């Protein structure tokens, strides 16, 4: 069995866990909570890009994505940002659910599971 590696986070959670060539990212949220859904979505996707890149992966390697959105009336606008970002021809399996997030100002949280290249740090 391969080792489990944990990165970032605190005593409660890890920001990233790597096991058996797979990355599991904790839910990512925007820091700029004054922004609307499009800006928050772009910020979250940018964070995901950076984390994946730091761990030898990329958006074309995403296997599964779970999106939590504060209000499904924001779904269309969020999807416009997603559609411009997603790796065309490599769209992951995805679920989107409406949920009350940790802060009412946070409009979106995204969790990702992605493959990572063999030998990546």
* Structural domain contains residue 9: no
The number of folded domains in the chain is 1
Kindly report the pTM of this predicted structure.
0.93
Q: What is the CATH number of the domain that holds 38?
A: 3.30.1330.40
* Structural domain contains residue 56: yes
Residues of the domain holding 38: 22-115
For 14, residues 6+ apart whose C-beta sits below 8 A from its C-beta are: 6, 7, 8, 26
pLDDT per residue rounded down to tens, the chain (121 residues): 679 999 998 999 999 999 999 999 999 999 999 999 999 999 999 999 999 999 999 999 999 999 999 999 999 999 999 999 999 999 999 999 999 999 999 999 999 999 997 666 5
Give the number of residues written for the chain.
Answer: 121
> In which region does residue 119 sit, left (phi positive, over 0), alpha (psi from -120 to 50) or beta (all else)?
left
């Amino acid at each position: 069995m391969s080792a489990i590696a944990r990165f970032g986070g605190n005593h409660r959670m890890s920001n990233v866990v790597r096991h058996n060539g797979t990355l599991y990212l904790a839910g990512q949220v925007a820091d700029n909570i004054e922004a609307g859904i499009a800006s928050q979505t772009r910020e979250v996707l940018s964070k995901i890009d950076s984390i994946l890149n730091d761990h030898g992966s990329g958006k074309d390697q995403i296997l599964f994505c779970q999106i939590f959105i504060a209000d499904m009336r924001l779904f269309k606008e969020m999807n416009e940002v997603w559609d411009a970002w997603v790796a065309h021809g490599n769209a992951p399996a995805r679920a989107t659910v409406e949920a009350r997030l940790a802060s009412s100002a946070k409009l979106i949280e995204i969790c990702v599971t992605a493959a990572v290249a063999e030998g990546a740090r």
